[in-house]
Chain A
Amino acid sequence: MECNDAQLVDKSQKGDMEAFRMLIKRHEKSVYNLAYRMLKNVEDAKDAAQEIFLKVFASLNSFRGESSFATWLYRIATNECINRLKRPKFLSLEELRREYENEEKPIEPPQLIDASPLPEELAEQREIQQLVHKAMDELPDHYRLVITLRYLQGLPYDEIAEALGLPVGTVKTYLFRAKNILKTKLQRFVDQTFLLERKV
């Protein structure tokens, strides 16, 4: 029979490393993706996710089960990501060059990753989705965090509030503002496309 989180935590607290490995397996994807959304870099995300699980193990005995394990884990994960975002980042020459080139480029709708021919409508949908993804990457950190926790990790408002130590009302406001930013960027793109089409 498969153990639930509480049982695995209990075993891990008693030093069962296999139970802790199973706990990691169960949550690694969401923690890794949360770290990736926040840090926007695969290497940093991997490093942060490892650090998060090491911290979880180190403080496992302080977990009393007052919230769900997932909420407690997200609290540690978000703190780790926020702390990493606060640290000054030292870029390599290659990264600096890439950043400089990105700054120089005019903002334009992202290119489709999949170059295979698609029906026109599907291509347009994809293009719009990629525009939203790009806009998500550009959101302020705290907005990106709540969007990620709500729509990618599927946490309800109250659990996000608990994980971030914020009132539920603030979480709702952040979500509202974040989606409004995304919507404004999307509207601008749709209006521009519409104008271009009319000119052609």
Chain B
Amino acid sequence: MNMRHEEIQRLLHIYLDGMLNEAHRAEVESHLRICENCRRELDYLQVVMRGIETYPLLETPPNFAEDVISTLQTVSQNRYALELIATLLEVPKFLFTTIVTNLKEMAKYYYLSIVLGIRRTKQSLAFGLSSARDNLKENFSNIINTDASTC
């Protein structure tokens, strides 16, 4: 397998990472023996790698782990306190909700009573008017019938 020059230069990165398979590694190494450009490329990459690897590591700030644990404990204590407050707040909330619900129910009851009352009154008025009209009709027809019989 004869690889292209650009392909070899791409593989040099993986070669330096030690992650090339046996066949590719052999191909890269045989190419390096004959190619001055790729050897220079490899030199540059090795300097870059050394630069990366020597990037200094910082020490963690003192008591870092303890600070995290203490923050966690504070958060959890605050959560318990909040839960307690929430529980205590439940009592007035319950009372308030009950009163409001009851008030709402009462208001609904009275509202319905009034509306129904008005409707009933209207109905009875309407009923009264229609029965009065029927009575009049009946009386009128009686009068006509009586007059006709007397004639």
Contacts and interface: CB of A to CB of B under 8 A. Distances in A.
Contacts of A63: none
A152 B72 contact: no
B52 A20 contact: no
Say what secondary structure dominates the interface of chain A. helix
A54 B53 contact: no
B58 A42 contact: yes
Interface stretch (A2-10, A85-93, A101-109, A181-189): A181-189
A136 interface: yes
Contact of B55 (A57, A136, A150): A136
Nearest to B44: A183
A151 B53 contact: yes
Interface residues on A, range: 35 or more
Interface residues on B, range: 20 to 34
Given A28-B60, A32-B60, A179-B13, A50 B50 contact: no
Interface of B: 10, 13-14, 17, 19, 41, 44-45, 47-61, 64-69, 71-73, 75
Given A37-B55, A46-B64, A133-B54, 9 more contacts: A29-B60, A33-B57, A50-B68, A54-B68, A54-B75, A128-B51, A151-B53, A156-B19, A175-B13
Interface of A: 17, 20-21, 24-25, 28-29, 32-33, 36-37, 42, 45-46, 49-50, 53-54, 57, 125, 128-129, 131-133, 135-136, 147, 150-152, 156-157, 172, 175-176, 179, 182-183, 186-187
